[in-house]
Amino acid sequence: MRHSLKARLVALFLLLAFALGGAFMFGMQKALGIGWRDAARPLVSDYVDRLAADLGSPPSVDRARALTGRLPITVRIEGPQVQWESHPTTTEDGRAHDRWARDDGLLVRTSADGHRIAFGLNVQPWRERPRIWAWSTLATLLLLTWVAYKFVRRLLRPLDDIRAGAQRFGRGEFTQAIPVRRNDELGELAEDVNTMARSIHQMLEAKRALLLAISHELRSPLTRARLHVELLPEGGEASVRREALLRELQEMADLVTELLESERLGQGHAALQREPADLGELVREVANDGVTLEIAPDVPRLELDRARVRLLVRNLVDNALRHGAAAQAPTVRVAREADGSVVLGVRDFGPGVDEGVLSQLAEPFYRPDASRERGTGGVGLGLYLSRLVAQAHGAAFTVRNAHPGLEVLVRFPAP
């Protein structure tokens, strides 16, 4: 109820229905009941006089029995000669008939010989009828509730469309717009969200196009610069500068490659070259002597793109070596889970990060604090590119604090 607008609207509808129905019934009962009582009093009084006269004096039990058999009334006679009641008090509420005879003696008469005759309305024939009405009312109420729910659900269907569209846009899927079903306020809201999504999509496309253009244009001058640096003499003081320049140029070239690969994977344009592969063997090929390997022997072969999975493992291992503790080597493990999935885990034993920034670590160019700044190497694309490779393979990518250190888990689905 707290989190559902539909449930609150249906509850409001039911409360209003009960309140309106109760107020109407109470008001009509008061309005008509008082007037009916005043108008019917002389008629009822005259009719009771005639019934009492028909019973005679002393009252005849046979006549009273015939009268109650013919009319839906009750009769009770109390006096010196006759003690008789047509409907003895046997009901669970202790009443045999409706005692509105107590109203100022309207239905009570005293015969000439001192017998007290009390008339009432026999409610026994209608005793089962309230149950029928109760069940009928409950069925009608449930039907009205179902109709109200369907109406509210249809009325608020654009909100479901807007929520689904917002989730698609959040995942970067802009191909399917939110359907505009009506011309009311919700329809205008859906159209506004579509307009906003188109603007965001255009900005993202412009950013991707700019990154691709810059990356492509940087490749040629980087290649020429590397050739010029390699022509520098290898001996003497110039060799130190030569090696430093080569490292910086290689880092720039790696950055350009990562930018191009991330944009291709992010757009879904890169077709994976899948083939059966042993994930444990790929890890052994990439991981160097600075890490601890824990590879289970029962890991099944998976359909993988070997080149991109090597890139994923290399980025995760480099990230663990860069930010891990010097006293303890990072751990790379490959294991098979109980559900058949295969998990690749890379853990360092460094300081870790704050819990609040875990969800942002795999975003492009994100560096949370000084412990993972530019001076330690990297520009914030390694985890992002690894996440794209994992998602392209249908794997789940999770980053968590391992206390101590940071652990990245890549869960490949069962083959």
pLDDT tens sequence across 191-204: 999 999 999 888 87
Q: What's the pTM?
A: 0.50
Q: Which two tokens stand for residue 374?
A: 């530019």
pLDDT tens figures, 75-121: 888 888 888 988 775 444 444 444 444 445 678 888 888 888 888 87
Q: What pLDDT was estimated at residue 207?
A: 75
Q: What is the mean pLDDT of the chain?
A: 80
**Digit-coded pLDDT (tens) for 111-149:** 888 888 888 877 666 555 556 776 787 788 778 778 877
- Kind and range of the H or E run holding 413: none
For residue 109, which of 40, 61, 51 has the smallest C-alpha distance?
A: 51
Opening angle at CA 110, ends 106 and 111, nearest 5: 135
Cβ 75 vs Cβ 118: under 8 Å: yes
Question: b/e string for 12-39 if b means 16 or more Cβ within 10 A?
Answer: ebeeeeeeeeeeeeeeeeeeeeeeeeee
Cα 295 from chain centre: 39
- At 222 the pLDDT is 80
Task: Find, among 297, 327, 328, 334, the residue nearest to 313 by Cα.
Answer: 334
Whether 118 and 107 have beta carbons less than 8 Å apart is answered as yes
